[in-house]
Amino acid sequence: MAFMEVIAFGTQEMLTRPCVDCGTITGSFCDYCRAADRMPTEIWAQNQATPLCTTCDRKYDKCRFCRADHAQTQETQQPMVQDTTTAH
C-alpha cells in the first residue's frame, strides 16, 4: 500500500508562490528550509518550504537563502593545509 506524505496543507494560492530565485510561479519547494524562517513577514502554511521552481532546483540544488548560508559557512572555515616541507 502506498502512502503520501503531506508536508504543507493550504489553498492553491497559498501553496503556489513565486520561486525565490527567478520569480516563476511554482508548487515546488527547497528541500532545505522553511518559508516562514526565510520570509517571516508573509503568511505561509504550517511547515511550508521555501518556493523553488524545478528549473532553479536542478540548476542550483537549493534556494538562494540556503546557497548564501552555505557560502557563509565556507568562508568562516579554515582551510586544511598540510605542511609538505617537513620530512617524515
The pLDDT tens digits of the residues spanning 6-55 come to: 566 778 888 899 999 999 999 999 999 999 999 999 999 988 999 999 99
The CA distance from 8 to 32, in Å, is 14
Report pLDDT for 60.
95
Residue 74 lies in a domain: no
- Cell numbers linked to 33: 528550509
The CA distance from 27 to 19, in Å, is 9
Reported pTM: 0.73
Domain that holds residue 17: 12-69
User: How many independent structural domains does the chain possess?
Assistant: 1
- Cell numbers linked to 74: 565556507
Report pLDDT for 2.
74
Residue 64 lies in a domain: yes
Residue 1 lies in a domain: no
Residue 57 lies in a domain: yes
The CA distance from 66 to 34, in Å, is 10
